[in-house]
């Protein structure tokens, strides 16, 4: 049951579109989202089974419990507001329509938040990351697309108030981008960017096309978490240091100089 829910969540996190692997926010009319949260559906069934063990969930997933509770309250509020659409007072009906629109948007956001909370977290979610973009199939148009994607990630980092440092940048002849790498650091940077990795594609009429034909171009994105700094303490008593000296004719310098040193960590036998 758990694996099927994660598969449904993955389908929502990687929707189909012109850009292959890019993740976009769910709209209010997202059919997969409504099917997943339909009464009697897999997610409703899963959350219903967990209702009996709410105390256990509060210990392990307090955020999920709070969001599910808020979703139930908003759905109940929506049902009560919909009854006002049949009221004789026209002003009250208009007010109800506005409240329904606002409530539907909040419900969609809560459903999306529940899906994200169901995806298991990783130890590297809090880490900074290295972004690498490379032009793929499509010639100069692919390089232009790569440049646009790199600029998009840079603007997104500025929007999230992350640190963005360009490490490598190899432009093309007409303003595109062959390859680039950047270091991105900030709160939960890797958690928000890790799903961007993969092949992205675009279908459009390129600037280099004179006959108006649609071309397909690709580029690849790699997202690598940066390891966190650790304080490593090694007890000198756990080390065995072996030294080797050359032998044979060669004078005093050969016989008195340590020409090879081997350090062995005794607990792990690492050399």
User: CA 36, 37, 42, 46 torsion: positive or negative?
Assistant: positive
Same domain, 243 and 158: no
Cβ-based neighbours of 121, under 8 Å, separated by 6 or more: 191
Q: Does 167 reside within a domain?
A: yes
Angle at 218 between CA 178 and CA 8, to 5 degrees: 130
Is the pLDDT assigned to residue 182 strictly greater than 60? yes
Q: Does 221 reside within a domain?
A: yes
Q: Does 111 reside within a domain?
A: yes
Is the pLDDT assigned to residue 167 strictly greater than 70? yes
CA distance 262 to 240: 8
Boundaries of domain holding 247: 236-265
pLDDT at position 257 is: 66
Same domain, 93 and 141: no
pLDDT at position 59 is: 45
Phi (first) and psi of residue 76, to 5 degrees: -65, -40
Q: What confidence category does residue 22 fall into, taking pLDDT thresholds of 50, 70 and 90?
A: very low
Q: Does 43 reside within a domain?
A: yes
Query: What is the chain's mean pLDDT, rounded?
Result: 79
Q: What confidence category does residue 258 fall into, taking pLDDT thresholds of 50, 70 and 90?
A: low
Tens digit of each residue's pLDDT (9 = 90 or more) over 97-117: 999 999 999 988 888 888 877
Tens digit of each residue's pLDDT (9 = 90 or more) over 225-235: 988 777 778 88
Q: Does 13 reside within a domain?
A: no
pLDDT at position 42 is: 72
- Count other C-beta atoms under 10 Å from residue 64's C-beta: 17
* Count of domains observed in the chain: 3
Instruction: Give the domain-ending residue among 66, 92, 118.
Output: 118
């Amino acid at each position: 049951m758990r694996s099927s829910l994660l598969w449904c969540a993955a389908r929502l996190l990687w929707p189909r579109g012109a850009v292959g692997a890019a993740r976009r926010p769910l709209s209010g009319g997202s059919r997969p989202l409504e099917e997943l949260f339909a009464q009697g559906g897999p997610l409703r069934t899963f959350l219903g089974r967990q209702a009996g063990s709410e105390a256990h969930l509060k210990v392990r997933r307090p955020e999920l419990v709070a969001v599910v509770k808020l979703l139930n309250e908003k759905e109940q509020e929506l049902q009560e507001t919909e009854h006002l659409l049949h009221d004789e007072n026209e002003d009250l009906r208009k007010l109800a329509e506005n409240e329904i629109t606002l409530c539907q948007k909040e419900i969609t956001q809560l459903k999306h938040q529940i899906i994200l909370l169901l995806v298991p977290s990783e130890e590297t979610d809090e880490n900074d990351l290295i972004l690498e973009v490379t032009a793929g199939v499509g010639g100069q148009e692919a390089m232009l697309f790569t440049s646009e994607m790199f600029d998009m990630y840079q603007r997104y980092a500025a929007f999230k108030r992350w640190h963005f440092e360009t490490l490598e940048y190899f432009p093309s002849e007409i303003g595109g981008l062959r390859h680039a790498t950047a270091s991105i650091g900030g709160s939960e940077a890797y958690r928000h960017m890790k799903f961007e990795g993969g092949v992205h594609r675009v279908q459009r009429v390129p600037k280099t096309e004179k006959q108006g034909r649609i071309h397909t171009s690709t580029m690849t994105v790699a997202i690598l978490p940066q390891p966190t700094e650790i304080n490593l303490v090694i007890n000198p008593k756990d080390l065995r240091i072996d030294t080797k000296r050359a032998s044979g004719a060669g004078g005093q310098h050969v016989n008195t100089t340590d020409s090879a040193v081997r350090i062995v960590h005794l607990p792990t036998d690492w050399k």
